Amino acid sequence: MADKIKVIVTGVLGKMGLETVKAVYPDEDLQLVGLVDIRGKGEKLSQLSQLKEIDLKVENDLDRVIEKTKPRVMIDFTNPQAVFNNTRTALKNKITCVVGTTGLNEVELRQLEKLAVDNKVGLAIIPNFAIGAVLMMKFAREAARYFPDVEIIELHHDQKMDAPSGTAIKTAELINESRTSRVPRNIREFEKIAGCRGGNIEQVRIHSVRLPGLVAHQEVIFGGSGQTLKIRHDSIDRAGFMPGVIMVVKKMIDHQGLVYGMENLL
């Protein structure tokens, strides 16, 4: 029987971190060996959460956890302030990284990609692990060939730090890859309140909603002469992201360099 893949999770006390632990722990191919969170003080996860069967300690020093556990994979669900340093540290230690945290800028992404290539390990930057969300992006890219007029509304819980979401940005990029013509801007339009028309990525408007009660939702609205087309995905429980997380971990073990977007691994 092949050795299990040793995994550490960073940002483990967040909602996505806890959900990831629940998915990794029972998987027959994976071995959960380390838990990292800036709020950790060495307490067992079983004392800090409802996951009473997991007695691993939650520590706040990533370097120490790496040295102690020698993992093959790090899964990061932290925040935009921590993700770059965490990923850089792991890649320098030749650890494959699966990153669900959004907020990395283009310069950081290129630096991390170079580190992954230099150290011959995989780096997966995944804006959305929900397979339905990936299909939504694929369908939007296809529709954009026929409907160049499009806007995106993304809706998330009120604790999400960055806006717009990584999924919305990725969707806009895919749409712009696909549509052959750019819609001329309505030069007579003006905003009575600054920002009310949303953000703008190459004439794809993105509107971000943040409210308690939401998880992760996105609607892509296309308009044409006498018709509209809406493509919508709703994540109603974070458990829906986990099959994607586990799949990406297992596929990235044999990959070198950067993969941006789960659609490249399906």
On whether both 114 and 217 belong to a single domain, the answer is: no
**Closest alpha carbon to 134 in 257, 248, 18, 221:** 248
Q: Does 204 lie in the same domain as 145? A: yes
Residues 251 and 209 in one domain: no
Q: Which of 170, 166, 151, 175 is nearest to 229 (CA)?
A: 151
Flag whether pLDDT at 186 surpasses 90.
no
Q: Which residues contact 184 (CB under 8 A, 6 or more apart)?
A: none
Same domain, 162 and 75: no
Same domain, 32 and 155: no
The answer on 154 and 168 residing in a single domain is: yes
What is the enclosing helix (H) or strand (E) of 7?
strand 5-10
111 and 15 both lie in a single domain: yes
Question: How many angstroms separate the CA atoms of 110 and 112, rounded?
Answer: 5
Match 């996505």 to its residue by tokens. Answer: 16
Question: How far is 223 from 186, CA to CA, in rounded Å?
Answer: 15
Same domain, 96 and 16: yes
The residues assigned a catalytic role are 156, 160
36: exposed, middle or buried (Cβ count in 10 Å: 0-12, 13-18, 19+) = buried
* Whether residues 157 and 173 fall in one domain: yes
What CATH number is given to the structural domain containing 254?
3.40.50.720
How does pLDDT run across 101-126, given as a tens digit for each residue?
988 999 999 999 999 999 999 999 99
Residue 61 domain boundaries = 5-125+239-264
Pair (102, 140) in one structural domain:
no
pLDDT tens-digit series, residues 252-264:
999 999 999 998 9
Same-domain pairing of 243 and 217: no
Give the chain's domain count. Answer: 2
Give dist(CA 191, CA 178) in Å, integer: 29
CATH of the domain at 205: 3.30.360.10
Q: pLDDT tens digit string along 189-204?
A: 889 999 999 999 999 9
